[in-house]
Amino acid sequence: MKSQIDEKYFIEQIQDIKEALGEELIILTHHYQRKEIVDVGDYRGDSFGLSKTAAEDKAARFIVFCGVHFMAESAEILSQPHHTVQIPDQNAGCPMADMADIYNVERAWKDVASITGKDAIMPIAYMNSDARIKAFCGRHGGAVCTSSNALAAFGWGFGRREKIFFFPDKHLGYNTGNQMGIQPDEMIVWDPKKPLGGNTQESIKKAKVILWDGHCHVHTRFRVEHVLKMRKEYPEARIVVHPECTREVVELADEAGSTSFIVKYVENAPPDTTIIVGTEINLINRLALENPDKEVLELHYSLCPNMFKINLKNLLWSLENIGQANVITVPEAVKTDARIALDRMLALTD
Ligand code: 13P
Ligand code: SF4
């Protein structure tokens, strides 16, 4: 009862500030945010859609990003000079993004380039990465991608160079390579803790895709046994998963795609369909609520604790300290190079 009163109080305060600021403020909410955050936001979307909204917005001065840090950072890089981007909790990070740090990436790049020549490798960073990794890609002729345009980015990369070095999600990289028909023995994993990433000179020469050894702990929680169990219980159901899941899970599912793909998939399914979804639980719960004519079930319970750090309390605090609290800043040199890689991504999908 008390928490309901609190919630009502926070929502009213947030609405009052929104009203007072009018067009000067936009609140962006990622699909994995709690329902009450999505409800008070102005736009909801996947990491690609939200970064595009930030890039294209003209009216607002303040962008409050309800998502994880790399998303707010990308919005800041793409935003206009008159924007200030804030995140309600600076500690809402992404452990996968932290798996590729610039020191190890630069060392790996030198190692690979010494074997293949640098003109043979195209660096592509997943949006879920630090700004310095995006800047590295921008400097070396590469691009950023999200799960909604990874296939286009790989096609773009292979049109220009022989090999792709993909950071930091090995599963998205593998699943995308697989979709392009690249053979498993032409994709190698780079473990930064080992000499030559745990590979031989020969395997590096042969590889078409080099996958940084990173993963999302939320999406790798889905396992083959979960798919088999749900298939047995719901033989008529469709199973759709995010491509950050392992290749085994993706191969057993009916479809794999970005969060926006999953949203559209559920929305477009005929009434009475049962859809089993392998992604973050807050999105699945919302999809179930918003599509009462369908049965939307979780493949397995998996919550992103970092997305969950954003709540009504810290959102209200950001709004009360608009333009000041938890402002995202990126050093100018990093911003310039990262923007090149992000602009290449935006051009890809235009
Ligand atoms: P989207 O790019 O689909 O929004 O996914 C971001 C993410 O963090 C998935 O775990
Ligand atoms: Fe990062 Fe995974 Fe959370 Fe997405 S779901 S923000 S990849 S930890």
The CATH number linked to 225 is 3.40.50.10800
State which of 74, 259, 304, 309 you would mutate to test the pocket of ligand 2, scoring each by most atoms of that ligand within 8 A of its C-beta. 304
Query: Residue 259 C-alpha to ligand 1 middle, in angstroms?
Result: 6
Copy the structure tokens of residue 219.
Answer: 């999406």
If DSSP codes are grouped into helix, strand and coil, which group holds residue 150? helix
Interval between CA 239 and ligand 1 midpoint (Å): 18
Atom nearest to 32 CA in ligand 2:
5
Question: Do residues 240 and 204 share a domain?
Answer: no
Measured in angstroms, how far is the CA atom of residue 243 from the centroid of ligand 1? 9
How many angstroms does the Cα of residue 81 sit away from the middle of ligand 2? Answer: 28
What is the distance between the alpha carbons of residues 86 and 322, in angstroms, rounded to a whole number?
8
Are 115 and 200 within one domain?
yes
Residue 151: strand, helix, or coil? helix
Tell how far the Cα of 316 is from the centroid of ligand 2, in angstroms.
24
Q: Which residue has the tokens 């100018």?
A: 332
The number of the ligand nearest the C-alpha atom of 168 reads 2
For ligand 2, atom 2: residue with the closest CA: 216
On whether both 12 and 27 belong to a single domain, the answer is yes
Which pLDDT belongs to residue 31?
A: 96
> For residue 2, what pLDDT is reported?
59
231 with 293, same domain: the answer is yes
Contact 47, 74 (CB under 8 A): yes
Q: Which helix (H) or strand (E) holds 64?
A: strand 62-66
As a whole number of angstroms, the distance between CA 243 and CA 148 comes to 10
Backbone angles phi, psi at 24, to 5 degrees: -70, -15
Domain end point (choices 215, 230, 259): 215
User: Do 103 and 210 fall into the same domain?
Assistant: yes
- Cite the beta strand spans of 216-312 per DSSP E: 238-241, 255-256, 274-278, 295-298
State how many domains the chain has: 3
**Residues of the chain with confidence (pLDDT) below 70:** 1-2, 349-350
Q: Which atom of ligand 1 is nearest to the CA of 258?
A: 3
Q: Which of 77, 195, 172 is nearest to 133 (CA)?
A: 77
Nearest CA to ligand 2 atom 1: 94
Condensed to tens digits (0 to 9), the pLDDT of residues 215-274 reads 999 999 999 999 999 999 999 999 999 999 999 999 999 999 999 999 999 999 999 999
pTM: 0.95
Domain boundary among 215, 243, 265: 215
Q: Which residues line ligand 2 (CB under 6 A)?
A: 68, 94-96, 128, 216, 218-219, 244, 280, 304, 306-307
Q: Put residue 246 in one of left, alpha, beta given phi > 0 → left and psi -120 to 50 → alpha.
A: beta
CA torsion sign for 329, 335, 338, 340 is positive
126 plus 226 within the same structural domain: no
**H helices then E strands: how many in the chain?**
15, 13
Domain hosting residue 44, numbered range = 2-93+307-330
Residue 349: its pLDDT value, please? Answer: 59
- pLDDT per position as a tens digit, 39-58: 999 999 998 889 889 888 88
pLDDT at 1: 58
265 and 204 inside one domain: no
